[in-house]
Amino acid sequence: MMTKNEPMFISRSETFKFITGETIVLPCEVANTDTYVVAWKRGIAILTAGSVKVTPDPRVRLVNGFNLQIREALPTDAGDYICQIATMDPREITHTVEILGK
């Protein structure tokens, strides 16, 4: 019996520093997620689910798969962003964003 390849992250949790006004891109490279939903969360807020953008923020979008892009970074964008593979036992990576003044 063949075991199915487990869904996994290729990206690792990291801390990123951006300057106010820059475009933030947070990597979430995944493998074997065909049957799973990949979601971005910030706190309890869901930003994206699969290829669907959930947040009303017009600055947010997915680029090149599941990488999260936020245009025109604001100081309020600082914090933790979670990319999650929605398995029975959810797997996730957390990126920390720091926003530096100009």
- The DSSP secondary-structure symbol of 23 reads P
pLDDT digits (tens, 9 = 90+) for 74-84: 999 999 999 99
Count of domains observed in the chain: 1
pLDDT digits (tens, 9 = 90+) for 18-52: 999 999 999 999 999 999 999 999 999 999 999 99
- Cα dihedral across residues 37, 32, 95, 71: positive or negative: negative
Domain of 20 in residue numbering reads as: 8-100
Query: Can you give the CATH number for the domain in which 54 is found?
Result: 2.60.40.10
3 is a domain residue = no
Note whether 15 and 80 are within 8 A (CB).
no
